[in-house]
Amino acid sequence: MAAAMAPAAALADEYSNIHSIAIVVKTGNDITLRKLSELSFTEWEQPFPSRVDIPGTIARDIETALSPRFQIVKGTMDASRFRGLQGDELIAALREDAPTADAYVVVGLGFHSFGRIVWSGIGLDEVGDDAPQTALYTHIAMAVIDAKTGKQIDRGTGYFPGGGVFTGPQPIQICAGSLWPGSAAAMTPSQQTAIETEVIAAIRAVTPYMLDDANLPNKTGYPFPSSPGDALATGACHRP
């Protein structure tokens, strides 16, 4: 009787008609360095191309998480083909890329704002001059789109649980000042390697929560018993 009285929404599986998915990651491979003033105004920002495969890392972790339940359909187009596409143009490109998929998991860059500061995409900030603070952010977000209707089934945002009182759970970490290179031109190979290592570690750590936010892992079992990002981190960054 109790089960019969359960709310319909609690029993519904929004992915019950989805048996195959295609994964498209259109985050690009750039990491942005940004200098903020004491009052949090942007003084300058410089993106630089990462030497590690950010989109490939995200796609592989999502495939690992979802393949126990869904058939993974491999597309034929380079992920860069989808950057900048929205709405009907994006749906048309997805259908052309993976016509046999029941749904598309599309991952892009997300953002978060607090006061006058906007964190968008993937980057490293230095705030202030007298006692500067370095922060790493990895904002990624996803949408699950029904291939037949073109409608969004659900969506999710990557984050770390917990977070600050005002900012809430966000994919932002505080890092050692030694990680800050000063500028893209002044960045040494070892600094770039350290930044890229922390970025990949953070992305792999927030991806399970992004899937959970879209109600995907609840149907497949939690994708990573312990975050794969934790083992990769160098210790230069920590969560607030």
Q: What whole-number distance in Å separates Cα of residue 136 and Cα of residue 175? A: 7
Q: How many CA atoms lie within 13 A of 82 on its CB side?
A: 29
* DSSP class of 179: G
Please name every residue paired with 20 in a beta bridge, in sequence order, or none if there are none.
71
Q: What whole-number distance in Å separates Cα of residue 222 and Cα of residue 142? A: 17
* Concatenated DSSP letters of 63-85: HHHHTTTSEEEPPSS-GGGGTT-
Q: Would you give the distance in Å from CA 167 to the centre of its chain?
A: 17
Question: Scanning the structure block, which residue is given the tokens 């230095």?
Answer: 126
Asked if residues 119 and 112 have their Cβ atoms less than 8 Å apart, the reply is: yes
pLDDT confidence of residue 225: 39
* Concatenated DSSP letters of 105-153: EEEEE-EEEETTEEEESEEEEEE-SSS-EEEEEE-EEEEEEETTT--EE
pTM score, two decimals?
Answer: 0.85
Query: Which amino acid, residue 3?
Result: A
pLDDT in tens, the chain (240 residues): 444 444 444 447 899 999 999 999 999 999 999 998 876 778 889 999 999 999 999 999 999 999 989 999 998 777 777 877 888 888 999 999 999 999 999 999 998 877 777 888 999 998 877 778 899 999 999 999 999 999 999 999 998 877 654 456 789 888 988 899 988 899 999 999 999 999 999 999 899 989 999 998 654 444 443 444 444 566 788 776
